[in-house]
Amino acid sequence: MLSMKLTAMACCLAIAGTLSVNAEEMEDARTLVKLPSGIKEKMVIIMRDHIRALDDIIDAVQTGEYDKAESIAESRLGWGSPLRITDQEVIKHWPEPMQKMADQLYHAASNYVVVSRNAAVEESKGSYQKVNAALGEVSSACCACHETYRLR
C-alpha cells in the first residue's frame, strides 16, 4: 500500500513538474497594451477593484443578500457606476476593441441587476438560474478581456 502511495506521489510530482516547465515555455499570445506609467497604475487599481467587486457580489449571493449583490454590481461595475466615469480616463488609452470589452462588462453588470431584481419577484428555481447565468456573464466579460490583452 505504501509503495502504491509513493508511486502515485512520484507520478503527480513528475506531471506537476512537466506542467510548470510547459507553462514557463508558453508564449503569451495576448496583445500587449502599452500605457503611460500613471495610467497603467490607475488601470491596475481599477482592475483590482473590479475583481474585488466580483468577489463581493459572489459572497453576497452565497449568503442570500441579493440586494447587496445588486448594489455592488451597479455601483462598482455597472453603467451607473460613478467609478465608470473615472475609468474613462484610463479607457481612452486602450485599443477600441478593448474599450468595447469594457462596455460589455458594464452592460453585463447592469443586466445582472435587472435579472436579479426580476428573480426576487418571480421566486422560482428558474429565475435564480438566470441570476447565476447573468453573474456568469459578468465573469466572462472580465475573462474575455484578460485573455485577450496584457500590460506586460
Range of the domain at 123: 30-150
In a domain, residue 73? The reply is yes
Residue 5 has pLDDT above 80, yes or no: no
Contact of 128 with 119, CB cutoff 8 Å: yes
Residue 137 grid cell: 456573464
pLDDT in tens, 18-68: 555 556 667 899 999 999 989 999 999 999 999 999 999 999 999 989 999
The percent of residues above 70 in pLDDT, for the chain, comes to 84
Nearest to 98 by CA among 49, 46, 37: 46
Nearest-angstrom CA–CA distance, 70 and 92:
27
In a domain, residue 8? The reply is no
In a domain, residue 7? The reply is no
CATH number at residue 61: 1.20.120
pLDDT in tens, 75-132: 999 988 877 777 788 999 999 999 999 999 999 999 999 999 998 888 788 888 999 9
In a domain, residue 17? The reply is no
| Domain total in the chain | 1
